[in-house]
Amino acid sequence: MKSYEFIAHTELETKHLAEKLATLLHPGAVVTLEGDLGAGKTTFTKGIGTGLGVRRTINSPTFTIVKEYMGELPLYHMDVYRLEESEEDIGFDEYFNGPGISIVEWASFIADFLPDERLDIQLEIIDEHTRKIKLYPRGMKFERVCEELGR
């Protein structure tokens, strides 16, 4: 599988990359975020929200599982960590096939529910401020998104 790698030296660079990505996403896009605690998953989501014109403060939906935000496109922010080892389907299809952008933190916990076409992102802590951000496009639409993001 082809991958695209970016290095962000600051939290702001992480957010800017996510903002640019947001402008390239299409309705119904699913983006998964994996990484250790503190790797920047919620920071990345905040950047996507900014890129979509979301005005509300975005924070982790750890205890609610899904938070919805309105912007140019709806943003569905999911943290499915609490669903580990669960077979619970909270209506993922409605989000994944809806008019918005779905961001899924800890997506490996719901792998069986994820669409085949999506963008998987791995955030890795290099040091206190620096992150390695690897994008794995699944499908041609997301290949094009990644190529455009790299320009």
Domain of 15 in residue numbering reads as 4-115+127-138
Q: Is residue 151 domain-resident?
A: no
Question: What are the residues facing 103 on neighbouring strands?
Answer: 31, 77
What mean pLDDT is reported for the chain? 90
Q: Is residue 49 domain-resident?
A: yes
Q: Is residue 120 domain-resident?
A: no
Q: Is residue 57 domain-resident?
A: yes
Residue-wise pLDDT for 100-141, tens only, equals 999 999 888 888 889 999 999 999 999 999 999 999 999 999
And the tokens for 34?
A: 């994996």
Q: Is residue 34 domain-resident?
A: yes
State how many domains the chain has: 1
Q: How far is 99 from 81, CA to CA, in rounded Å? A: 24
For the cut 70, the answer to whether the pLDDT of residue 90 exceeds it is: no
Q: Is residue 149 domain-resident?
A: no
> Around Cβ 93, how many Cβ atoms within 10 Å?
10
Q: Is residue 47 domain-resident?
A: yes
Q: What is the pTM of this model?
A: 0.91
CATH no. for residue 33? 3.40.50.300
Residue 20 contacts by C-beta under 8 Å, 6 or more apart in sequence? 51, 149
Question: What are the residues facing 32 on neighbouring strands?
Answer: 104, 120
In b/e form, how buried is each residue of 108-136, taking b as 16+ CB within 10 angstroms?
Answer: ebbeebbeeebbbbbbbeeeeeebebebb
Query: Considering the chain, what percentage of its residues have pLDDT values greater than 90?
Result: 68
